[in-house]
Chains A and B, each alone.
Chain A
Amino acid sequence: MAGVTVEGLVIIKIIKHCRENRPQLVFGELLGLDFEDSLEVTNCFPHLSKIEEEGEDQEKATNEAAEYAHKMMRCLQEVNVDHNAVGWYSSNYMGKFFNENTIETQFNYQKRLPSSVVLVYDPVKTSQGSLALKAYRLTDRFMDLYKTQQFSKESLSKSGISFDAIYNEVPIKIHNSLLVNAFLSELEQSGTNECDLERFDLQTNPYLEKTLECLIDTLDELNAEQAKFQFWQKSVQRQALQQTKWQQNRKEGEDNTPKAIPEPSRLDSLVYTNQVDSYCQQIKQFSGNNFAKLWLVSGVSEN
């Protein structure tokens, strides 16, 4: 897919929804048009926040959310808003968004609407002076793999998927109607829209610390997954050993085929590896920008 075109309205709407529910994460539906090889996102609306309860209540909440979405679509259709779902958006902090839930949701979207995307918005990074909005899609190869729901070591190596091939980023273009552009120009002239000061912020530590914390947490999880896998390997070996022993001194007519121990799913470790990788990249990017700022400061102070 060549790219996704996002209307300014959508961006502002997502930001508002996210700000008013902070620190909760928010989700919403993207509406727009699927046009040849590019996707146009022209409107969006928030989802009802998910209630984390088991049993009947959860089912009720899901039904309510579905009914809400249906009604909202109908209402928007009445006022000529594009009412095709083209994906969903979500807010996230520190780049920890690609967990199993996200993958499952995006998988379901992409199964239903092959061109759908997920827009991910990071309020923390945005308040540092640069709009942090990214669009992602699961890769076709990962879609095929996820469809089979087989995440053993064998199926992973057969499909040749590595941790960096789960999803790819789709470039975002911003589009606005002429009227909106007129409004933007007015805003710019009024001078109430300065955000330069935030960009000169030199305080790196809180952000880096938080990212490193997340990184360490994920590494721990990855370690646990690894240990699980090793444990499984050991138990398989032990079983094989017992089996050979038994075969050597077995009596006629006896049958003792042991049950195969199920292999733990490798999906988790794949996802964690990916997460670790994206944290590292995030750190690199953030530090890269800060190097520039630091040299800037030292240059200014020398003069």
Chain B
Amino acid sequence: MEDSSLYIRSGSVYQCKVQPLVIFNILDHFTRRGVDAEGETSSADTRVIGTLLGYINDGVLEIKNSFPVPHTEGEEQLGVDMLFHKDMLKLHHQIAPKEVILGWYSTGSELNETSALIHNFYSKEMGPNGSPVHLTVDTNLTNFQLSIKAYTNTTVSLFEGKEAGFQFLPLPLELESFIEDRVAVDALNKGKLNAGNGMLSELDNLEISVNKVHELLESVIGYVNTVLEGKIAADSSVGRFLSDALSALPKLDPSALEKMFTNSLQDLLLVVYLANLTRTQLALAEKLQKVA
């Protein structure tokens, strides 16, 4: 009999993309978890939860934003501040009306009964067909990793139509960042190293990039040389990548390049000259006004 077999309904969502902002938000929320009901500073075990917002596109979840939701977890009770959740959601919809609730996040890596309860609450919030996603960030840094993970629920039913409960199922997760995000994250990373020195100028950034490319080239040359010397076996896939990279280089006549170079240089010089001229005029006008 087919009906007696175990049904595992796979969700309509098969991939999950998260933007760095969401992780920043979660970490900030955790840092500011503050005091608990007894007025004591919460320990690192206390978890914080919040709502995830974003879009669903062809089965791909794009988590774009999040906001914290205060909650209390006791021995046998769970309280989620519904009113706060509703207020905040309304405020967010005034700015980005298209972002819908996608699920919830919590810190810590544990999935327990309370997680299931909160998950139930969010599936009610999302309507009848909603299957919320649950994002966990391990703020205790077990194994020295934040291990960001996403889960969705699959209903476990013993007979068709009768739900016995649900199970958390891991979802493939990908960090999605746009070019501006990448640049900002890079600037933040550099800021971490030279704390207190402010931001790097464009020229400094260029220098870093050049050095990086230089290092990459050195390591490639080193690799090619060891292969040529016969120390390690040649890997054809690496070879293909290398030849692809080399063929991506446009073949340019040296004279054409020279011409392009001088043209650009002349353009730039002219513009700089004009800009300086304008500034001189301004300074002159300023002086004349003072004298007059």
Interface, chain A (partner B; CB < 8 A) = 3, 7-9, 11-13, 15-20, 43, 46, 48, 68, 71-72, 75, 78-81, 123, 126-127, 129-131, 133, 153, 157, 162-163, 171-177, 179-188, 190, 192-196, 198-200, 202, 204-205, 208, 212, 215, 219, 273, 276-277, 279-281, 283-285, 287-294, 296-298, 301
Can you name 26 A-B pairs with beta carbons within 8 Å?
A: A12-B20, A12-B24, A13-B24, A15-B180, A19-B180, A48-B94, A48-B95, A75-B91, A80-B34, A123-B180, A126-B184, A157-B289, A174-B188, A177-B31, A179-B139, A180-B28, A183-B23, A184-B185, A193-B177, A195-B183, A196-B209, A273-B286, A277-B282, A280-B282, A284-B275, A301-B252
Q: How far is the CB of B211 from chain A (nearest CB, A)?
A: 10
Tell me whether B45 is interfacial, beta carbon within 8 Å.
no
Contact B65 A177 (CB under 8 A): no
In the complex with contacts A71-B87, A187-B175, A204-B268 CB distance below 8 A: yes
In the complex with contacts A188-B189, A193-B177, A130-B202 CB distance below 8 A: yes
- Binary contact readout B172-216 vs A (1 if CB under 8 angstroms, 0 otherwise): 000101111111111111011001111111110110011011000
**Chain B interface main SS type:** helix
Interface positions, chain B 238-285, Cβ under 8 Å from A, are: 252, 254, 257, 261, 264-265, 267-269, 271-272, 275-276, 278-279, 282, 285
Q: How far is the CB of A201 from chain B (nearest CB, A)?
A: 11
**CA of A194 to CA of B208, assembled, Å:** 12
**CA of A212 to CA of B286, assembled, Å:** 22
**Which residues of chain A are within 8 angstroms of B188 by Cβ–Cβ distance?**
8, 11, 174, 176, 180, 184
Q: How many residues of B contact A (CB 8 A)?
A: 80
Q: Given known contacts A13-B24, A280-B282, what 7 new A-B pairs fall within 8 Å (CB)? A: A174-B198, A176-B191, A208-B268, A277-B282, A283-B272, A291-B265, A298-B261
**CA of A226 to CA of B95, assembled, Å:** 41
**CA of A20 to CA of B55, assembled, Å:** 13
Contact B272 A284 (CB under 8 A): yes
Tell me whether B109 is interfacial, beta carbon within 8 Å.
no
Q: How far is the CB of B171 from chain A (nearest CB, A)?
A: 18
In the complex with contacts A81-B32, A176-B192, A193-B185 CB distance below 8 A: yes
Contact B180 A127 (CB under 8 A): yes
**Which residues of chain A are within 8 angstroms of B205 by Cβ–Cβ distance?**
129-130, 199
Q: How far is the CB of B106 from chain A (nearest CB, A)?
A: 14
Cβ-closest 4 pairs across A and B:
A174-B191, A131-B187, A280-B275, A196-B209
Contact A174 B267 (CB under 8 A): no
**CA of A15 to CA of B187, assembled, Å:** 13
Instruction: Kindly report which residue of chain A lies nearest to residue B90, judged by CB atoms.
Output: A71
Choose among B70, B146, B269, B290 the residue that contacts A157 (Cβ–Cβ < 8 A).
Answer: B290
**CA of A73 to CA of B131, assembled, Å:** 31
Q: How far is the CB of A171 from chain B (nearest CB, A)?
A: 5
Tell me whether B88 is interfacial, beta carbon within 8 Å.
yes
Tell me whether B30 is interfacial, beta carbon within 8 Å.
yes
**Which residues of chain A are within 8 angstroms of B28 by Cβ–Cβ distance?**
7, 9, 43, 177, 180
**CA of A54 to CA of B33, assembled, Å:** 44
**CA of A123 to CA of B202, assembled, Å:** 15
Contact A212 B179 (CB under 8 A): no
